[in-house]
Amino acid sequence: MNKINVILDTDTYNECDDQFALAYLLKSQDKFNVEAITIAPFQNHWIPSDDSGIELSYEEAKKVCELSGIKSDNLIFKGATDYIKNGYSKRNDAVNKIIEIALKNEKTYILGIGAITNIALAISYEPQIIDKIEVIWLGGHTLLNKNNLNEANFKDVEAVKMVFESNVKLTVVPCRGVASNLYTSIYELDKYIKGKNELCDYLYKTFETVVSKREILPRWRLWDVAVIAYMVNKEWFEIFETNCPDINEDTSYVVNTNNRKITMINYFDACEIYKDLFEKLTRYSN
């Protein structure tokens, strides 16, 4: 079976779902040729407001690769240190790598699980890649939601507009109402992955750390895993084709019937996804 060429664009240090998604991808290399891991910017209340999280995410990606038994040399590339909406426009290492890989391959899938800044810049600098890539992006909410203001991957709204307004083949995994169904708990992870191997224990601890900072039940969503799962087995998903929406100033979607078609996911079988994820993460036990 020919492997699928993929680039993962990730803000690895943001919460804990990126680590699970990256590990899932690396443990699915019977299906994927992982060409590169590119680092996307992020900001949250756990890091300084003027920090893009790039260095933290870079080191986190290296750590997950190491625990997954994958050499990270010449695999991980630092991306944008700010958002396009803030005036960032540099052609960074991640952007250059996306362009290089896209031009050399007949087809490359770019799996976006962070702000879509690097992907937008790559398309802007080298429009030739548009016909050679397919973007699967977790970001925004469903078309029925009021707006996308509080969705982390939508914060670089100018980057979202650039990708939406291009002709790149695009599948969107909405957060609220779709990826939000990937709730798990410390109790479930305790049962299925804790103590299985060093990678599993690291992921467990990362999840535990994130939920401990929140005054809620010890449950959280591993949103980003949905993008990897979609590429692993599309039969777990229900999709629909729609006109690519326009984006209002308040970040709400407006469907424009004159726009090109994109794919949106509206449902997936979370049980099948977690079954496959846990099996792959624990395949090599201590």
Instruction: Report pLDDT digits (tens) over 3-49.
Output: 999 999 999 998 899 999 999 999 999 999 999 999 999 977 666 65
How far is it, in rounded angstroms, from Cα 216 to Cα 128?
47
Element spanning 37, H or E: strand 32-39
Domains annotated for the chain, with CATH where assigned, are 4-281 (3.90.245.10)
| The two three-digit tokens of residue 118, written as one number | 């690097």
Q: Are 82 and 52 in contact (CB under 8 A)?
A: yes
For residue 112, the cross-strand partners are: 9, 137
**How large is the greatest C-alpha to C-alpha distance in the chain, in angstroms?**
56
Q: Provide the 3-class DSSP secondary structure of residue 82.
A: coil
Q: Rounded to two decimals, what is the model's pTM? A: 0.96
109-124: per-residue pLDDT in tens? 999 999 999 999 999 9
Element spanning 35, H or E: strand 32-39
Answer positive or negative: Cα dihedral of 122, 124, 129, 133: positive
